[in-house]
Amino acid sequence: MADKYTNEGLIAWSEYVLNGLKVEIEKIDHIVDYSYLRDKILIPSLSDALSNKYITDVEHSILKLTVSKKTQEIQASDIKELYITKTSSEISRIIRSLIDKRMLIPISERARKYVISFGSNYLLRSVLKSLDNNGFLPLNN
């Protein structure tokens, strides 16, 4: 219609473009809202990674706790609260394993607080799946 250079055609084309922009802005609003990101993308990604056996039950519990915390940071004492029967050395090994798999990264060099990293191949597939399920990836025609 816009190719005909009529007022109606230009209005229809403008509405089409503006509606597309509106949809993309709404996506941005959702993804920057941490509660939406956590509940619709991150936690489902972790559940998917667990169900596909990309991560273990222990890794899932620790990573889910990390994204659920207000600060999104975790330290050994948080894991100790989750697994009270584990020794400090066992917790250190779990943290080291998560770091080696690039699922946790220190908040700064030599820090003993960690944040989740979704750059790991173990988690990235599931994050992409959650993003796709929530309409954040382009359509595959």
pLDDT, position 3: 66
Residue 136, Cβ neighbours under 10 Å: how many? 16
pLDDT, position 111: 87
pLDDT, position 2: 53
Element (H, E) at 80: helix 76-82
pLDDT, position 33: 93
- Tens place of pLDDT per residue across the chain (141 aa): 556 678 888 888 899 999 989 988 998 998 899 999 999 999 999 999 999 999 999 999 999 999 999 899 999 999 999 999 999 999 999 999 999 999 999 999 888 999 999 887 889 999 999 999 998 988 664
pTM: 0.82
Q: What is the DSSP string of 10-63?
A: HHHHHHHHHHHHHHHHHHHHHHHSHHHIIIIIIHHHHHHHHHTTSS-HHHHHHH
Strand order in the sheet with 73-75: 73-75, 113-116, 104-106
Q: For residue 124, what are its two tokens?
A: 């990235």
Q: For residue 31, what are its two tokens?
A: 């993804």
Instruction: Give every CB contact of residue 31 below 8 A, 6+ residues apart in sequence.
Output: 37, 41, 136
Q: For residue 133, what are its two tokens?
A: 């399920």
pLDDT, position 8: 87
pLDDT, position 5: 75
How far is 98 from 44, CA to CA, in rounded Å? 19
